[in-house]
Amino acid sequence: MTIFEELDRELLPGFERLMLPGLSGDMLTLVGGSGPPLLLLHGDPQTHLCWHSIAPKLAEQYTVVLADLRGRGESHKPERTSDHRHYSKRLMATEQVRIMERLGFDVFRVVGHDRGARVARRMALDYPDKVERLAVMDIVPVLDFYERATSAVAQDYFYFFFLTQPFPVPDRLIAGDPRAFMGDILTSLTKPGFNYHPGALEAYLAASTTEESINSICECFRAGISSDVEDDKASRSAGRRITCPTLVFWGELGVVGRYFDMQRIWSDWAAPVSFAPMPCGHFIPEEEPELTATHLIRFLQ
């Protein structure tokens, strides 16, 4: 049994592990609970385990689906391409919609953090008939992010610019000490005094520091500044907005909370929209699990 399987058994009891076919490879997907379907999508440099303090509680009322995004965890990791489209949030959203359909869910609620929130947001824009309710955590839509970024933002969120550099620059530099690089992201963006579950932290580091995983994360950021920006520009020009009820979380102690007017930005993209500033940093599901669960249960109903 791998470390990942052991931790799933310990932290997500009752969830079934499945390997389901995605668009170009298998996707690790966990399913637990009963009730209306709810998809939870993790961020970087993490896996589905980021929901370990919340998912069991949500599973009391919902059929909870946890997925490792493509390029992460135990899911398939497509090779890089010149246009980086294998890691566009549009393609990643489509892949998750197909997974939900394979599980028998044509309409569902979706919650995403970080990268997962970007996938969930694109899903709500591209598949409005699929997403009943949307909750996103600690992101600014990518077009707004790059349009509004300042030198201070670039300093505090340096990897939004470092990871977008052409192959092999960031890939090789990270490979020199991958655990230090990924560990810094995981620990430098949290509130003071926060500690991860030690097993979960080790799983994040083990999953994100292989050569394939490093390349996947870089490709995902390269897609962010290229194809994802292009898709956002097209959506904005077409006047497309998220029409399902939307809840926006952010960490008041984090970069997003310090530098961006979240209510103004998100009100341009979604209606109806509500807001939940949280007393923490970036990694909301683990820094404030009880408060997060309370907000989600109230909103999702």
Q: Annotated catalytic sites, by residue?
A: 114, 282
63, β-bridge pairs: 33, 37
CA 61 to chain centre: 22
Tell me the two tokens of residue 98: 């197909």
Token pair 């707004």 is at which residue?
144
Please report how many Cα atoms fall inside a 13 Å half-sphere around the Cα of residue 56, on the Cβ side: 12
Cα separation, 299 vs 229, in Å, equals 29
Neighbours of 141 (CB within 10 A): 24
The answer to whether 200 and 11 are in contact (CB under 8 A) is yes
Taking the C-alpha atoms of residue 29 and residue 103, their distance in angstroms, rounded to an integer, is 10
Q: Phi and psi at residue 4, in whole multiples of 5°?
A: -70, -40
State how far the Cα of 173 lies from the Cα of 112, in Å rounded to an integer.
Answer: 29
Q: Which residues contact 97 (CB under 8 A, 6 or more apart)?
A: 123, 127, 130
CA distances for 52 relative to 73, 78, 178, 186, 242, angstroms: 15, 26, 24, 16, 28
Count of alpha carbons within 13 Å of 148, Cβ hemisphere only? 14
